Amino acid sequence: MQPTSELDRPALKAKVFRCMGTVISLTVPAGRGSWTAADDANLGNAAAAVERLFAALDARFSLYRTRSEASRLARGELTLRRTSREFRDRYADAARWRILTGGAFTPERPDGTPDLSGLVKGFAVQQAGTALQSLGLRDWCLNAGGDILVSGSPIPGSRASWQAGIVDPLDRGSLIAAYPLGGSTVTGALATSGSAERGDHIWVLGAGASEFRQVSVAAADIVTADVLATAIVAGGLPMLNRATSTWAVEVLAIRRDGGLLATAGFRA
């Protein structure tokens, strides 16, 4: 993340950790020469709270952890009815999204194994944002492997926005677009899904690969952005049309051949 500004480029401080197979960063404004040891301690405490939240969700929902509820359910050691209330609630959320997206988003793999990874990271970011607000942080940017949620501005008290950079899937060293979040805008979340970083890990409707290499969705909340980005990759152009006609979102979709489809917010 790099912020835009009507003023000078702001100073920023960040804490970074790894969880859920990705890098997660919490960035806050540092002011000009006013950062203190107490500020650093507050940022460290906030990042630690976020890390604990992510770790707890990963321990419950990861299919890569052999003792997680998700893995035990996949092996038949648990039934869905006997999982925790939190697991059942997230499964119910995913099932509702399956209905809303006409099956493009699903809580199961093609073999029927429950897999909530398409929902849990966005949910973790959402919960972390609530935790940061409860700690009294007003201005921050949380980035979990491309799932971005912001609050306030990189220049506290101004209308400057955070600028979310979207990586070019054909050249991971460059950006293909940027999108303003927070500040004077009403949009606070952006999520990107696709095969550029993790391979073809999204289950595509029908046969063959998705017609989109990468999809970015900007929305008011991170769960909507994350779910719809995944659903559009899975459901292709029909799901893109459904998403843009049903939800207040902006979408940038990159075709397999490098062609772009973008709503007005990404063309501005």
Tens-level pLDDT at each residue, the chain (268 residues): 544 444 456 799 999 999 999 999 999 999 877 789 999 999 999 999 999 999 999 999 999 999 999 999 999 999 999 999 999 999 999 999 999 999 999 999 988 999 999 999 999 999 999 999 999 999 999 999 999 999 999 999 899 999 999 999 988 889 999 999 999 888 899 999 986 554 444 555 554 568 999 999 999 999 999 999 999 999 999 999 999 999 999 999 999 999 999 999 998 6
Q: What pLDDT, on a 0 to 100 scale, did the predictor assign at position 173? A: 86
pLDDT score, position 194: 86
How many Å apart are CA 11 and CA 243, to the nearest integer? 37
pTM: 0.91
Q: Please tell me the distance from the alpha carbon of residue 61 to that of residue 265, in angstroms, as a whole number.
A: 34
Backbone Cα Rg of the chain = 19
Q: Which amino acid is at 109?
A: R
What is the predicted pLDDT for the residue at 43?
97
Residues 6+ apart with CB under 8 A from 107: 91, 94, 95, 98, 114, 115, 116, 118, 119
Distances (CA, A) of 55 to 3, 59, 69, 75: 28, 6, 14, 22
d(CA 25, CA 218): 19
Number of H helices, E strands in the chain: 6, 11
Contacts of residue 143, defined as CB under 8 A and 6 or more positions apart, other chains included, come to: 1, 24, 25, 27
Determine which helix (DSSP H) or strand (DSSP E) holds 238, and give its type and residue range: helix 222-246
2-267: CATH, from 3.10.520.10, 3.10.20.600, 3.30.70.3270, 1.10.3720.10:
3.10.520.10
Q: Return the H-helix or E-strand segment holding 86.
A: helix 85-100
